[in-house]
Amino acid sequence: MRSVSVIGAGLSKFGERWETSFRELIYEASLNAMEDARIEGKDIQALYGGSMAPGRLIGQEHIGALIADQLGLNPIPSVRVEAACASGGVALRQAYHAIASDAYDIVAVGGVEKMTEVSTEEVATALGGAGDQEWELFLGATFPAIYALMARRHMLEYGTTEEQMALCSVKNHANAVHNPYAQYRKAISVEQVMESGYIAEPLKLLDCSPITDGAAALILCASDMAKKYSDTPIHIAASAQASDTLALDDRRTLSALEATRYAAKEAFKQAKMTPKDIPLAEVHDCFSIAEIMAIEDLGFFKKGKGGKAVQDGETQLNSRLSINTSGGLKACGHPVGATGIKQAVEITWQLRQQAGKRQVANAEVGLAHNVGGSGATAVVHIFKRGD
Amino acid sequence: MVGTQPLIWRRIPERYRLHGSKCLTCNAEFFPQRQFCPNCRRKGKLVKEHMPMDGTIYSYTYVHSAPEGFEYHVPYFMAIIELKNGVRLMSQLADSEPESVKINASVRMVFRRVHESEAEEAIAYGYKFKVVD
């Protein structure tokens, strides 16, 4: 397979974008990525866009065609990819394969979600579709409830505490202060998390990622051509994906995501690396407990030691392993279809040393981990500077 | 739309009577019913099997923020129940004192209203579980 590199990266501002429509978000992020790559529309040969639930959230389907139309790129092929909250990560993987397989030389891949058009209950129902509609959502299980069921087992099996979970949110908010694209550029304290009110016990409001509007975009290019467009192309060293049962109750363990473990193992094999080689990662913290499970399941910390690692500050900016420098889903925001691409954008900026006050010193390798639903899909990408 | 009338009607065997499946090749049991044994694939032979009505709480949460159709039910308990045969399922808990809801507490199936859909004027009934001494 051909080697693939990122030559352009862009985001829209994340947040409650009342004044901005779905298609305007796409335009904002895509224009930023195209200007960053210094390419013209005519250079792009195909489009891939991750979006989870536009049918429910804005009443719009046929997103592939909408993207090509909005960007003035007809008649090139354009595909919407859906894998719940991993829609962005899976779209990136499709775009990666489109170049790796020699079908195209340059493609654009993005992710978008417009979530503030409907009520919170309607968002909860739409996101509930990421689980098992008939055997979870139908019975009243929301996504916070599903992750709360995992948190309860993790606490029982490994002694993880609500304070350790709260510290993930505190750290991610501290990182987001330095991210101009983040939804919440505001530091919070453990006390604020602990007093923020239960959504689904033991998860509280500030353990949960917010409802966000936003878009993200990348321009990918065959690595042997990348230097023509970028002085610092970022090489995609691995792209791996795994699947697990749609419903949580069908899994033998609730305190780990097996799909994350499989995808990580495969990604490290492709990149010829081990977890020890990674100084920087964007992990899928849709809930605080998800970040603790992710840093264990990706192999950064032993199973059950994730909460302690967070408590000891081992995942803070410029510590042993900088986790979620963007602010993560919690503080940067979680426009579900955009998240997987936003993670890759953040890693790209970090590896190019363009992350400002949240820059990880001398980072040459970074990992992005994107999860769909309660772990039925997991995607892991590893990025590397240079080559 | 959380539950349309055909969806409610179609699932009566499972939701009213805990009908699941058993594979005669590997003896694995499943709930809800499956058309295909994921262990044996085409070598499997699935038959209808009643699940036991008794089990224990494997994990639980107290839900304070609800999806559509459950706005008037909060707060309520959601739990993963491990039935006597080892099969797990998601369920609400009913008629259980909050202090009695614990991991490993014994539970038994009860028949309750699950939710109502205003748009369809449909009421869905089915299983919930109740903590027993």
| Cβ(A238)–Cβ(A381) below 8 Å | yes
Residues ≥6 apart with Cβ < 8 Å to A199: A142, A144, A148, A205, A207, A208, B63, B64, B65
Which structural domain range is residue A327 located in? 130-209+236-382
Average pLDDT over every residue of A230-256: 97
A87 with A159, same domain: the answer is no
Are both A202 and A216 inside the same structural domain? Answer: no
Q: Model confidence over A10-33: pLDDT tens digits?
A: 999 999 999 999 999 999 999 999
* A341 Cα distance to chain centroid: 6
Say if residue A259 is in the same domain as residue A374: yes
Radius of gyration of chain B (CA): 16
CATH number of the domain encompassing residue A100: 3.40.47.10
d(Cα A142, Cα B46) in Å, to the nearest integer? Answer: 31
**Mean pLDDT confidence for A83-112:** 98
What value of ipTM does the predicted structure carry? 0.96
pLDDT in tens, A145-166: 999 999 999 999 999 999 999 9
- In tens, the pLDDT along A20-73 reads 999 999 999 999 999 999 999 999 999 999 999 999 999 999 999 999 999 999
- Domain end marker among A226, A260, A282: A226
Q: Would A387 be classed as within a structural domain?
A: no
A143/A45 same-domain check:
no
Return left, alpha or beta for A169; rule: phi > 0 is left, psi -120 to 50 is alpha, else beta.
alpha
Q: Which domains does chain B have, with CATH numbers?
A: 53-133 (2.40.50)
Condensed to tens digits (0 to 9), the pLDDT of residues A337-382 reads: 999 999 999 999 999 999 999 999 999 999 999 999 999 999 999 9
User: Residue A88: its pLDDT value, please?
Assistant: 98
Residue A217 covered by a domain: yes
**Cβ separation A200–B68 shorter than 8 A:** no
A139 contacts B126? CB cut-off 8 A? yes
Specify whether A143 is located in the same domain as A195. Answer: yes
Mean pLDDT, residues A223-241 taken together? 96
Q: How many domains does chain A have?
A: 2
Which residues of chain A make contact with B79, given a CB cutoff of 8 A? 149
Mean pLDDT of chain B: 92
The pLDDT value given to residue B68:
80
DSSP label of A262: H
The answer for B 33-52 residues in CB contact with A (under 8 A) is: none
Let me know if A85 is a catalytic residue: yes
Q: Does the residue A195 lie in any domain?
A: yes
Burial label, B53 (beta-carbon count in 10 A; 0-12, 13-18, 19+): middle
Looking at the fold, whether A199 and A335 belong to one and the same domain comes out as yes
Tokens 């004192």 belong to: B97
Task: Please judge whether A254 and B70 are an interchain contact, meaning their C-beta atoms are less than 8 angstroms apart.
Answer: no
User: Both A92 and A150 in a single domain?
Assistant: no
Is residue A219 located within the same domain as residue A262? no
In the chain, the amino acid numbered A375 is G
Which residue spans within B54-100 are E strands per DSSP? Answer: 54-63, 76-83, 88-92
Asked which of A226, A256, A284 is the last residue of a domain, the reply is A226
Q: Using the beta-carbon criterion (under 8 Å), do A125 and B67 form an inter-chain contact?
A: yes
The average confidence (pLDDT) of chain A is: 97
Closest CA in chain A for residue B86: A252
> Is B2's pLDDT higher than 60?
no
Single residue among A165, A193, A226 that ends a domain in this structure: A226
pLDDT confidence of residue B110 = 98
Candidate from B11, B60, B88 with C-beta closest to A134: B11
Does a structural domain hold residue A291? yes
Of A154, A235, A284, A334, the active-site residue reads: A334
Rounded to whole angstroms, the Cα distance separating A101 from A78 reads 17
pLDDT in tens, A298-327: 999 999 999 999 999 999 999 999 999 999
Inter-residue contact A288 to A325 (CB < 8 Å): no
Q: Is residue A178 part of a domain?
A: yes
In a domain, A124, yes or no: no
- Residue B121: the pLDDT is 75
Q: Are A283 and A295 in contact (CB under 8 A)?
A: yes
My answer on whether A194 and A311 are in the same domain is: yes
**For residue B98, is the peptide bond before it cis, meaning its omega torsion is within 30 degrees of 0?**
no
B60/chain A closest Cα distance in angstroms: 6
Same-domain status, A216 and A357: no
